[in-house]
Amino acid sequence: MPNLKKHFWYYLSLLSIFGVSFTTLYFSQDRFFQLTVLTITVFFYIIWGVLHHHLHHDLSAKIVVEYVLMGALGEALIFLIFKGGFGL
Amino acid sequence: MRKFLHDLFFPHEHNNFRARLLHHRTLFISITLVLFTGFFISTVRTNFPKVLGVSYDITSSQLLYLTNIKRQENGLSTLGLNDKLGLAASSKAKDMFAHNYWAHNSPVGLTPWVFIKDSGYTYVYAGENLARGFSTSDEVVKAWMASPDHRENMLSKNYSDVGFAVAKGKLLGEETVLIVEMLGSTSFTQENAKVATIPPVSTEQSMVLSKNESNPIISSVNLSKNLALIITVIFITVLFLDAIVIERRKITRFVGHNLDHIFFFIAILSIIFIIARGLIA
């Protein structure tokens, strides 16, 4: 588990990305726009994760794949609601 | 079974000190299963709408009752159900489904007042509230009350009549329940305002009001939402357990930060709640 104090600014930037995403989703009335916002958020998360490791000199292909898979799982979970729940 | 679950959820020497659920291969399988489940639920709801689909318990009577309770709590007169406003609300709902829009004004510029006038209701004051994707009347009224503009409409002294339409259909590609509320009054003064207390609805009466013959056995929204929530919580728990065990044993691994993923899945959890709620306009 990374030291929160040491990584404070990284996590603040991550939470800011999520904060903007939540606000946009909360006020959005369009499902397709919501899905687009979510996809952009996931994309930013992957980029953020890769950059975070790159700046700490411990980036590897395995780690990149891990962030891509975690992001894809998050996207798939939301897709489950859009496709299964809303029938979009 | 116990060994399998231990391997899946806890890091140890046999899974390379990483919970099996977090291995790339298992993650890939999980993604595939989640996507497959989405398509499966969608296929079942299309082919067997009586089993799986949009389920709701919303009626005009319940909406009127709950609206009047809110008005009484705020020292206002109660509203009366008006057939003409009900017809206007019904026409608006049909127009929204027919022209596939989610707004107070139609794509061809028809305002809510056109539907009210066409119904034969001669208004002095008029207002409209819209909602979609809710499961119960209580949720609809709570959402309207939470929004300043909709609350103002519901608690306006200017209105004496109300009409509701509750219709199920496909709007903007989404199978949903649409609720239209048309408010109005035919005079400037509210001398004839109803101030009588709302008669309590008996349990038996409530059951009759809330009975909806077209409801499927399972709500597709609730099923999808609950599945997504369970999977998300499982991943947050496993990531947390994995991090705790590795931290305590002081094991060095070259993997992504569990804390990053925990934050990410907590964000997904919040997003699930945001998108699964109904919308108002």
Query: Which of B222, B258, B267 has its CB closest to that of A18?
Result: B267
- HSE-up of B183 (CA within 13 Å, CB side)? 22
pLDDT level of residue B193 (50, 70, 90 thresholds): very low
Residue for token digits 């992504």? B256
pLDDT of residue B39: 93
Q: How far apart are CA B218 and CA B13, in angstroms?
A: 43
* Six-digit token string for A29: 């009335």
* Six-digit token string for A65: 């794949």
In this structure, of B47-51, B92-96, B254-258, the range with the lowest mean pLDDT score is B254-258
pLDDT of residue B191: 46
What are B230-256's pLDDT values in tens digits? 999 999 999 999 989 888 887 777 777
Instruction: Tell me what ipTM this predicted complex has.
Output: 0.93
pLDDT level of residue B212 (50, 70, 90 thresholds): low
* pTM of the predicted protein model: 0.81
Q: Contact at 8 Å (CB) between B89 and B215?
A: no
Chain A touched by B230 (CB under 8 Å): no
Alpha helices per DSSP H over chain B: 2-9, 24-47, 60-73, 83-99, 112-118, 137-146, 148-154, 203-210, 220-249, 258-276
Mutate to test the interface with B, among A7, A50, A81, A82 (most CBs of B within 10 A): A81
Q: How far apart are CA A87 and CA B122, in angstroms?
A: 40
Residue B134 — φ and ψ, nearest 5°?
-95, 155
Q: How far apart are CA B179 and CA B64, in angstroms?
A: 12
Chain A touched by B168 (CB under 8 Å): no
- At residue B210, does pLDDT exceed 60? no
What are B144-159's pLDDT values in tens digits? 999 999 999 999 999 9
pLDDT level of residue B189 (50, 70, 90 thresholds): low
* Six-digit token string for B142: 């709570």
DSSP code, position B41:
H
What is the mean pLDDT of the segment spanning B84-109?
A: 93
